[in-house]
Each structure stands twice: as structure tokens, then as C-alpha cells.
Structure 1
Amino acid sequence: MSLRVTFLGTGGAVPTTERAPSALFVNREGDHLLFDCGEGTQRGMMRFGTGFGVDRIFVSHLHGDHVLGIPGLVQTLGFTDRTEPLTIHCPPGTSEDLDALVHAAGHQPRFPVRIEEVAPGAVAYEADAYTVSAFETAHRTRSQGYVLAEDDRKGRFDRPRAEELGVPVGPAFGRLHAGETVELEDGTVVEPEQVVGPPRPGRTLVYTADTRPVDETVAVAEGADLLVHDATFADDMAGRARETAHSTGREAGTIARRADVARLALVHISSRYAGDASAIRQDAQEAFDGACLLPDDGTEIRVPFPDATA
């Protein structure tokens, strides 16, 4: 099952010619999820080939660089003759303002737009094999991040062992893998645990949006496969990061190390680094020895399963 992440907007509050404001597109086996929707998101969708088939938008907070792309995207979706509903998840107490944004300039969407508030610690969306939950972050307004966590997968089926036990090739294999007991023709009973390994973990993706480094992120991101963290400034601007309730690359790296994540992606890069943001990644790598990414707009990465082999 594929889990692809496309960074549509990796910049801070002020866009640059290279970085648009915040937007993260996630394609989880055909489910299209958008985390924040800054100005220009729909152009990024066209430019980087994700398409407009968004099922749900998860809003972290109501600062303009995270939501001003919503009115334009909703209108464009209407022009494509969309009929299926669009659900927008948002922090508590923000739904009225979001509704006003959707209806900006008197626009009436041509399809249902549902706005659902979700409190930190609660599940925003529960799908067949994964959930998206909210967690509290620390910014200058009511804000939250989101965790996409897949369910555990079935353990590996040990075919040689099954054949050794006399299980005939065919439907009995599937029944055992599904957790059913199988009785052979000679009366021998084979239990699933004899031929099926322990459950294998699914993948976890954590998106913080704008935040100071907080313990809540460490808790929800423990062992995550990908942490997408605010890294607005390099370490020499740590005072400015505190004043504006953002994080530095080093602070993001420290969170990643404490949470023992597999990969860290640094986003919300301030426009002051329009020419060269490498100092942010260097600071992060000094604090975190795992894979550290400084994605550009349009960067796409695939998130492998924790037990995937090279």
C-alpha cells in the first residue's frame, strides 16, 4: 500500500518565488488528504501533479498562510463539476470563521462543504485501516497538529511451515492468515499462530504545522516514520523563533531525536532564507542523526513500512 507525501507549500508566512505557504498533500492508497491550504495551493496541485481530488482538508490554525488557499480551491472544485462533499477539519472554536472563508465574496459552493471541529486528543477521521487524530501544539493562536496512524497489519504467513504441518495449498492458507483455525482431513487442528507471525506495525506520519517545540509532539511522534515539523529559523534566530512561537531547525531536530523518528522534514521556512536554507538543515542534523530532509515545493517522498527491506 502506497503512502506518498507531496510538499505543495514549504514556506513561511511570506511566500517567495521558490516556496509557497503551507500545504501538505498526502495520498494514502488513493485517499487524498490535504494538511493546511495556504495561498497558491491549487497552483501547486497543478504544477506538481497531485490533481484536485481532495477528500478532506485538515486545518492546523487560522493564520492566513495556512488557510487563504481554501476559497480559491473550493471555487475551482466547483468548476470541475464536483458533487461529492468536502470535509474540512479544524480546531475547536474556528468553524464559523472557516465557514465565512469558504463563502468569501458571497460564493456559494456547488457541492456540500462540511466543517467539523476536532479537539486535541480526538480522532478527526477514522478510515478502514488508519486514523487521523489531532494533538495540541503551541503557537500564537489556537493551533494543533495531526497524526496519521495506520492500523497494524497481519503477520507474515509462513508457507513452508504450513506445508510442513500438512495444510493443503489453497483456501486453507487464506483462512489461517485471516485468523481462523483449520482442521485437516486426518483431524489435525492447525492454529493461526502456528503459521502466522506477530502483527506488523503500520506507518505513522506526524504534521505539526506552526509550533514551538513541545512535549506533546514527542509523545505522539514516538517512533514515527515521518515527522513534518516547523523549522522556520536557523539557530542564530532562536530568540525570534520564541517571539513568534515557531521552531528552529535545531529545535525540530531535538524533537525528532527525542521521539526517535525515522525521518524528519523541515518546513515553514522563513523568507529570509530564500537564497539558501541549508543552515536550518545543518542545525537540525547536529541534533538528530536520522534522515533529515529540507524539501522544496514539489518534493514527493514515499513513506515505507517500518519492516520494509531495501
Structure 2
Amino acid sequence: MSLRVTFLGTSGAVPTTERNPSSVFVAREGEELLFDAGEGTQRQMMRFGTGFSVGQLFVTHCHGDHVLGIPGLLQTMDFNDREAPLTIHTPRGTRRQIVGLVNALGNRPSFPVRINEVDGGDVAYRAEEYEVRAFDTDHDTRSAGYALVEDDRKGRFDRERAEELGVPVGPTFSRLHAGEPVELADGTVVDPEQVVGEPRPGRVLVYTGDTRPTAATVDVADDPDLLIHDATFADDRVDRAADTAHATARQAARIASEAGATRLALMHLSSRYAGDASAHLEEAREVFGEGVFVPDDGDRLEIPYPDADG
């Protein structure tokens, strides 16, 4: 089952010719999610071919470089005759700002737009096989991060063991794998635990938005497969990072290490670093190792299952 991330905008507050303001698109088996929508997000979606079937938009905070793309995105959806509803999740206390953005063009979209305010610790969105959890971040305004956490999957079915126990090949295999005991012709009962392994973990994606380093990022989910973390500055501006409620690449790497992340994406790079992220990579790798990268706009990443074979 595919879980694909497309980095639509990776810049800090000031865009550059190479980097758009913040936005991350996530596709999971036909369902499409968007995390933040900086200015020009709809053009990035066109440019990188994601389509506009987003059903859930998760806003980390209401600074312009994370939300000014909402009016244009909604207008583009309207022009495409969208009918499906859109839910915008936003930190508690920011509904008024989101309503203003939704109505910025003087009229509401022709499709339903729902606004859901969230607190840290809330399940912002529950789907059939995963949930998106909100967690507290530390920025200079009301803010939240989000963690997409898949449900555990069924354990592996041991066909060889089932046949040894006399289970006939066919529907009984599926019943056992679904957790239902089966009775054989001789009256023997085979329980699922005899032929099904331990549940296997799903995948975890964590997106912080803008934030100082926080314990909540570590605590929101176990061993994320991908942590997308604020890394606005390198070590040369560590004081500036603290003053403006951002993180450095090294600080992001420490959080990723504490969280047990498999990979770390450094986001929201200040325009002062222009096209040179070498310092970010060097400093983060000293802490986290080779699993760190700085995505460019348009980069795509497939997140495999922890056990690698799905």
C-alpha cells in the first residue's frame, strides 16, 4: 500500500526562486492530504502533478507563509467544479483567521468547507486504517504539528504451520487470518494465535511546521519512518532560531534521534541560505547520520513499511 510524500514548498518565510513557501502533499492509496498551504500552493500542485483531490488540509499555524495559498487553492478547486467537501484542521483559536481566508475573495466556495479546531493530543482526523494526531509545538503563535499514524497490520499467516495442523487450504485460511478460530472435521479447534504472527506496525509520518525543539514531537508517535522538521537555520544563527521560535538543523537532528526516526527531512530553510544547504546537512549528519536530507520543491518520497516487504 503506497504512502507517498511530495514536497511542494520547502522555503522559510521568504520564498526564493527555487523554493516555495511551506506545503507538503501526502497520498495514501487514493486519499490525498495536504499539510500547510503557503502562497502559490495550487501552482505547485499543478507543476508537480499531484491533482486537487485533497480532502483534508492540516494547518500548523496561521502565519502567511503557511496559509496564504488557501484562497487561491479554493478558487482553483471551484474552477474545477469540485463538489466534494474539504476539511481544514487548524490550531484552537485560529478559526477566525481561516474563515477570513476561505472568504477572502468575497464569496464562499461552491463546495462544503468545514473547519476543525484542534488541540495538542487530539485525533484531528480518523480514517479507516490510520489517524492524524495533533501535537503541541512551540512557535510564536498558536500552533500544532501533525502525525499520520497507521494502524497495526495483521501478523503474517504461517501457511506451513496451518497445513501441519490439518487446516484445509481455502476459506479457512482467511478466517484464521481475520482472527476467527476454525473447527476441523475431527473436532479439533485451531486458534488464530497458532498460525498468525504478532501484529506488524504501520508507518508513521510526523510534520512539525514551525517550532523550537519540543518533547511533544518525540512523544507523539513511536519511531517515525519520516520526521519532517523545522530547520530554518544552521548553527551560525542558533540565537536567531531561539528568538524567532524556530529550530536549527542540528536541533532537528537531536529530536529525530530521540524520537527514533528512520529518516529526517529538514524543512523551512531561511532564504539567507539560498541554494546552499550544505551546512544544514553537515551539522544534522553529525548527530543523526546519513538518514537526513534537505528536500527540494517537487521531490517525492515513498515511505516503505518498517518490515520492508509490505
Give the TM-score normalised by structure 1.
0.98
**Match for residue 17 of structure 1?**
17
- Listed one character per residue, the Cα deviations across residues 154-190 of structure 1 (whole Å, up to 9, x for unaligned) are 0000001111111111000000000011111111111
Deviation at 1:97, TM superposition (A): 1.3
**Match for residue 202 of structure 1?**
202
Which residue identity lines up with residue 213 of structure 2 in the other structure? Answer: P
Deviation at 1:308, TM superposition (A): 1.1
- Listed one character per residue, the Cα deviations across residues 235-261 of structure 1 (whole Å, up to 9, x for unaligned) are 111011111110000000010111111
**Match for residue 143 of structure 1?**
143
**Match for residue 69 of structure 1?**
69
**Match for residue 184 of structure 1?**
184
Compute the RMSD of aligned alpha carbons.
1.1
1 CA distance for matches of 2:180 and 2:56? 36
1 CA distance for matches of 2:309 and 2:168? 29
1:170-181 alignment runs, 5 A limit: 170-181=170-181
**Match for residue 100 of structure 1?**
100
- Equivalent residue of 1:65, what SS? helix
Deviation at 1:222, TM superposition (A): 3.3
2 CA distance for matches of 1:184 and 1:227? 48
2 CA distance for matches of 1:88 and 1:262? 29
- Equivalent residue of 1:237, what SS? helix
- Listed one character per residue, the Cα deviations across residues 59-112 of structure 1 (whole Å, up to 9, x for unaligned) are 000000000000000011001111111110000011111101111031321111
**Match for residue 215 of structure 2?**
215
- Equivalent residue of 1:132, what SS? strand
- Equivalent residue of 2:247, what SS? coil
2 CA distance for matches of 1:281 and 1:68? 29
Which residue identity lines up with residue 110 of structure 2 in the other structure? Answer: R
Which residue identity lines up with residue 37 of structure 1 in the other structure? Answer: A
Contact preservation (8 Å) 1:252, 1:284:
yes
- Equivalent residue of 2:39, what SS? coil
Deviation at 1:221, TM superposition (A): 4.2
1:1-310 alignment runs, 5 A limit: 1-289=1-289, 291-309=291-309
1 CA distance for matches of 2:259 and 2:108? 44
Comparing 20-29 with 286-295, greater Cα deviation is found at: 286-295
Deviation at 1:147, TM superposition (A): 0.6
- Listed one character per residue, the Cα deviations across residues 221-240 of structure 1 (whole Å, up to 9, x for unaligned) are 43111100000111111011
2 CA distance for matches of 1:276 and 1:195? 53
Deviation at 1:207, TM superposition (A): 0.3
Comparing 9-18 with 212-221, greater Cα deviation is found at: 212-221
2 CA distance for matches of 1:121 and 1:69? 27
Give the TM-score normalised by structure 2.
0.98
2 CA distance for matches of 1:86 and 1:192? 40
Deviation at 1:309, TM superposition (A): 4.6
2 CA distance for matches of 1:108 and 1:271? 34
Contact preservation (8 Å) 1:38, 1:65:
yes
Structure 1 residues not aligned, in runs of 5+: none
1 CA distance for matches of 2:32 and 2:305? 19
Contact preservation (8 Å) 1:262, 1:290:
no
- Equivalent residue of 2:44, what SS? helix
Which residue identity lines up with residue 220 of structure 1 in the other structure? Answer: V
- Listed one character per residue, the Cα deviations across residues 116-138 of structure 1 (whole Å, up to 9, x for unaligned) are 10111011100111000100000
Contact preservation (8 Å) 1:221, 1:227:
no
2 CA distance for matches of 1:13 and 1:277? 16
Distance 1:143 1:207, change over 3 A: same
Contact preservation (8 Å) 1:176, 1:192:
yes
Comparing 254-263 with 218-227, greater Cα deviation is found at: 218-227
Deviation at 1:290, TM superposition (A): 5.1
- Equivalent residue of 1:174, what SS? helix
2 CA distance for matches of 1:38 and 1:32? 17
